[in-house]
Structure 1
Amino acid sequence: MCHGETEIWGYHANIVTIDHVTPLHEACLSGHVACVRALINAKANVNAATIDGVTPLFNCCASGSVGCMELLLQNGAHTHTSHAHFPSALHEACKRGNSQCVETLLSHGADPDYEVSHLGSPLYMSCLHRHAACSKILLHSGANVNVGRGGDSPLHATVRQDSADQVSLLLDYGADVNIRDSNDQRPVELAPVGGKTQQLLLTFEVSPRSLCQLCRLQIRNLLGRSRLKLLPLLPLPPLLTHYLEHT
């Protein structure tokens, strides 16, 4: 480094291309932790946005680089942008199936129900792209299981993918099997005929949730999303804590 804190080898840390892409954007997209650290030390703007609204944090989620992401978050990166129509880092992580990125964002205060008008909720995005690990993390953090994109719920999206494991996960967290989409169709009506998903939903309709499941869902709802992370701190037997946490 030379010529002061804002320059590296004579180049300004916040130099931009015509599309407002900075060196930090490129370093995060390539997952170069050492470069990200050097740029941040040289006062690179961790919240710089391209003309399309893409931030370095978004690029971390695209590349799956948790190391770069941690550096950004520790140095003031915002988990969400101030404009709802801009690209969302959390949605990108869910789209790519980068579950560690999802977990890191949520641990730094990202809203698991953050909606982007044309994408829907993060949970909807993870269901649409069949990333059950991301869905599990979001639901564990208290994401609303029935909020999708417009009238389309996460369960509708999952059923279309005929992903039986993910359907089971959503049902376990209280998904409404009677919710209707913009075409007035229930999830079971969208399931491929004869597939595992259709059989799972038909079976569920004749043998609904147990009292054990209903109690857990009710207690978690009463606690509220913001307090779910405090469950391990309660003076409860480990078995009861695990029950409430879905672990």
Structure 2
Amino acid sequence: MPEVPLGAPEVSRKRSAGPGPIPDLGPERKRACWGILTSQGSWADRSPLHEAASQGRLLALRTLLAQGYHANIVTIDHVTPLHEACLLGHVACVRALINAGAHVNAATIDGTTPLYNCCASGSVGCLDLLLQNGAHTHTQHKHFPSALHEACKRGSSQCVESLLSHGADPDYEVSHLGSPLYVSCLHQHTACTKILLHRGASVNMGRGGESPLHAAVRQDSADQVSMLLDYGADVNLRDSNHQRPVELAAPGGKTKQILLAFEVSPRTLCQLCRLQIRKLIGRSRLKHLPHLPLPSMLTHYLEHT
């Protein structure tokens, strides 16, 4: 453990009796944050600085830093005060900790970063602060938690947009989760799916043998199925059970109707041209489409807007 300054309260080595007050984030968000806190083991060996950061007590946090508490003091599981502040979305505390030298890429023993916690809480303000101060959009190890995957899982579309704007790879694959697009489709977050596809995510990259279209069909998400087809999803891909998406669709449902209609009326020449042009432009250059000297109608056509 890092040194505790003279005169500072002794750091308890016992599990705290309670997590302290949690801001009004809504029942679902509270449960999500609580689950992440306990899974990270962050109640063990917590310092007063952790408590202040977790509860958003900016004055107390600044006082403790002024008394000599180190901004990167860690628990037994390597949870830092910055992890805590990001998980509860306390922007002012995050800024104060960064200004005090907090490591924006600090990782817990299971690889969780402050950036991941921002996506878990849906705090775009905290996430932007981290990215502006050098936070990495991806970890070095593919099996570690991914901020982009977490944002897609939670439906934090603003976090997805911000991560991609700062260079995150929309096709970053985690072995046990698959692609971000697959996660988004699996959890039925249409806004995240649209952002990923707009930024050039590979429409057929999923998890194992299952494509994002398979995931969308399993969830009976007609809006996502239509969107995936519009971006070039392959209806003939088969999953690990050798089934095509149409074979997974609920009989009589809207998803089934969309897939059956697509099979008898393939993509138009207009759609095929758009897909091919976007492919030739390349994913890294799609963001420059609005700046090309093209008529607005053509720009909108290429951007799917």
User: When the two structures are superposed, what TM-score results if normalisation uses the length of structure 2?
Assistant: 0.79
* CA offset digits 1:184-207 (Å, max 9, x no partner): 110000001111101110011001
User: 2:85 is matched with which residue: 24, 27, 49?
Assistant: 27
Deviation of residue 116 (structure 1)? 0.1
* CA offset digits 1:74-93 (Å, max 9, x no partner): 11100000011000000000
Corresponding residue of 2:119: 61
- Report the Cα distance in structure 2 between the residues aligned to 1:22 and 1:178, rounded to whole angstroms: 47
The correspondence of residues 141-152 of structure 1 with structure 2, limited to 5 A, is 141-152=199-210
Gaps in structure 2 of 5+ consecutive residues: 1-58
Secondary structure of the structure 2 residue equivalent to 1:230? helix
Corresponding residue of 1:212: 270
- Report the Cα distance in structure 1 between the residues aligned to 2:69 and 2:115, rounded to whole angstroms: 22
Corresponding residue of 1:178: 236
Deviation of residue 11 (structure 1)? 1.4
Deviation of residue 7 (structure 1)? 3.6
User: 1:189 is matched with which residue: 243, 247, 267?
Assistant: 247
Corresponding residue of 2:75: 17
Secondary structure of the structure 1 residue equivalent to 2:274? helix
Gaps in structure 1 of 5+ consecutive residues: none
- Report the Cα distance in structure 2 between the residues aligned to 1:195 and 1:67, rounded to whole angstroms: 40
The correspondence of residues 1-247 of structure 1 with structure 2, limited to 5 A, is 7-247=65-305
User: How many residues of Structure 1 are paired with residues of Structure 2 in the alignment?
Assistant: 245
- Report the Cα distance in structure 2 between the residues aligned to 1:19 and 1:76, rounded to whole angstroms: 23
Secondary structure of the structure 2 residue equivalent to 1:82? coil
The one-letter amino acid of 1:38's match is A
Deviation of residue 50 (structure 1)? 0.4
The one-letter amino acid of 1:10's match is G
The one-letter amino acid of 1:28's match is C
Contact conserved, 1:8 with 1:42, CA < 8 A, in 2? no
| Runs of 4+ that moved beyond 2 A | 6-10
The one-letter amino acid of 1:161's match is Q
Deviation of residue 10 (structure 1)? 2.7
- Report the Cα distance in structure 2 between the residues aligned to 1:147 and 1:106, rounded to whole angstroms: 17
Q: Percent identity?
A: 83
Superposition RMSD in Å = 1.5
The one-letter amino acid of 2:289's match is L
Secondary structure of the structure 2 residue equivalent to 1:229? helix
User: When the two structures are superposed, what TM-score results if normalisation uses the length of structure 1?
Assistant: 0.97
* CA offset digits 1:122-169 (Å, max 9, x no partner): 000000000000000000000000000010000000000001011000
